Structure 1
């Protein structure tokens, strides 16, 4: 179940549907409900801050609920509380700031996400022309896709020693016109290769900056 079909909630709902899940979408805006009706399993116009409303919707039958209400903090918190009161054990909630997140956690959210903050961090990192994509895991660790630094081009990974010298692990290689290659010690890096690397954020940033 996805409650709140704004930009974030709508993206979650559509993605879950594409993955083969049955999705009940709920929003208080009749126009939004009408827009999503053709693409989701079921969409309802409903105020989900009330336990009775959620009971009528059969929320107890769902494996998880996503509370994607961002602008109305009171509605967000009350919805999480109502879901928790009904015994749902997998509640995801969108938070707009740290204070909002703490309240959501205390009222029953099992997972709290900051989509705007994470997207801002991602955009900031990929503004670096050599960093092509970037996913942070929130604990100083990340996975990134980047243009291969010239210093390791023409060398097998066992020789360039990326993990020893630069503290990053090359997970795979993608080159134009070919399938993704899982990196092994004998993998040779070619000009224009794109690498998928893992490591601490600072180390990945430093590695991507090497000429």
Structure 2
């Protein structure tokens, strides 16, 4: 059984809920060397992750539990509970009351997201919807990776259209013609290089491009 209390800390990330989203987030943060503490109330999940993550067994929907484990000392808290709407709202409200500087909360619907925003969540994420949108872009065109950052601004990895192959970026003038920016080029067996006007593109290269999603979709559809 995991400890009921955790030492106070001045920074770090508190991850509440160890479902697929929360466990992936927590393990990645831990691997990156971040100061992370996971909170889970389900005994089976606690047993599964105990010894693999810094972990506390507690019901974060109870305000006193968050106080006892020192939640107010974390700079960032992530509410990974999504399927239980009431618990998600209660946990987020408790974190707001504690004055948590940055609260990220998982939502499973637009209505759920609006509620979380209204009660004080600083960031609301929609993992299922975001994943679906990303996969749709990948399976429908030449994009090899797709990340929408904010307000339509997107970064993609893709193969170069034929009209770029054998030419420098200055010669193909992609930014002027299509409104997208080539950030860098990865050639086989060569380290990633940031793009310059003199960068020459070959058929086997990978491009990292940025721009508005609509413009990138049209550009990636070029033969």
Q: 1:8-32 deviations in whole A, cap 9, x for unaligned?
A: 1011101111111222111121111
Q: How does 1:85-164 map to 2 (within 5 A)?
A: 85-164=97-176
Superposition TM-score, scaled by structure 1 size: 0.97
Give me the whole-angstrom Cα distance separating, in 1, the residues matched to 2:143 and 2:89. Answer: 37
Give the stretch that moved more between structures: 43-52 or 148-157: 43-52
Q: Is the 8 A contact 2:17 2:38 kept in 1?
A: yes
Shift of 1:129: 4.6
> Is 1:67 aligned to 2:74, yes or no?
no
Superposed CA RMSD: 1.0
Shift of 1:137: 2.1
Q: 1:173 aligns with which of 185, 189, 202?
A: 185
Q: 2:215 matched to which residue of 1?
A: 203
Q: Which runs of 5+ in 1 are unaligned?
A: none
Q: 1:39-59 deviations in whole A, cap 9, x for unaligned?
A: 212x12211111111001111
Q: 1:7 aligns with which of 14, 17, 20?
A: 20
Give me the whole-angstrom Cα distance separating, in 1, the residues matched to 2:143 and 2:109. Answer: 27
Superposition TM-score, scaled by structure 2 size: 0.91
Q: 1:75-94 deviations in whole A, cap 9, x for unaligned?
A: 00000001111111211100
* 3-state secondary structure, aligned to 1:127: helix
Shift of 1:138: 3.7
